[in-house]
Amino acid sequence: MKNVLSIQSHVVFGYAGNKSATFPMQLMGIDVWALNTVQFSNHTQYGKWTGMVIPKEQIGEILRGIDEIGELKNCDAVVSGYIGSAEQVEEIVRAFHQVKARNPNAIYLCDPVMGHPDKGCIVADGVKEGLINQAMSEADIITPNLVELRELSGLPVENFEQAVAAARAILAKGPKKVLVKHLNKAGKDRTQFEMLLANEEGIWHIGRPLHYFEREPVGVGDLTAGLFLANKLQGKSDIAAFEHTANAVNDVMQTTYQQHSYELQLIAARELIINPISRYKAVKIA
């Protein structure tokens, strides 16, 4: 059994952050230790929410408690997602160092959620800078969207070629794998939902159908990052993990679309997460 410390947001209603990542990783056979950075009533893209940011000290306290019962050595990976304050970034990096000290083989996946005010995704001041200056170089795997790809690389990304160059630039900054969760307008085909995977062996592209929702569901990136990490921890190659992730997420989106839901239908699609019916293939970029 592989174990993941998942440091992300929590929503009581709906699916985002740990609510979007934990159940799918568990379905994939991963034991998830969920540590919440915030507890909100619902995700912020509703435009209103209640709840609170967890004090940064709690991250270290939770790690200390796990360590004191001798279990930190059994943590195989840390994943971070939505972060509630700039101070939490440093605490998360410190937490990974603690895990790494107990298990040198542990890896860190950073899902660098920087916010998208136009969509109503709000993050605290200083989080973006912390992710760029502290977390990125520590990450083994980083999973940006298009906006985050620009910020992390420091490059313009307006087309596919620039997206490939930006992914390569991030690899040079420390991460061993870069999974671009959504190319959006920088993709080859705007009628497709496109993703990139870059590692030291090359760059791969995959496209799947783009579902047109009245309101785009939230938590897709959290689901994507969690599934990719789960696949890697189960021993799959980068490409096999990439393909399973893309196909499973597509089936979740198809199920969500069919049910006319604003919230991801993870429970309804639970069997498809494990065994997707979609069969889209990754293509290596020459």
Residue 67, annotated as binding a ligand: no
Residue 151, annotated as binding a ligand: no
**Do the beta carbons of residue 120 and residue 47 sit within 8 Å?**
yes
| Cα 72 to Cα 5: distance, rounded to the nearest angstrom | 9
Q: What is the dihedral of CA 244, 248, 249, 255, to 10 degrees?
A: 170
Residue 222, annotated as binding a ligand: yes
Residue 148, annotated as binding a ligand: yes
Two structure tokens written together for 277: 């019916």
Residue 45, annotated as binding a ligand: yes
Q: Is 34 exposed, middle or buried (0-12, 13-18, 19+ CB in 10 A)?
A: middle
Residue 129, annotated as binding a ligand: no
Residue 44, annotated as binding a ligand: yes
Binding residues for substrate: 9, 44-45, 222
Binding residues for ATP: 111, 148, 181
Binding residues: 9, 44-45, 111, 148, 181, 222
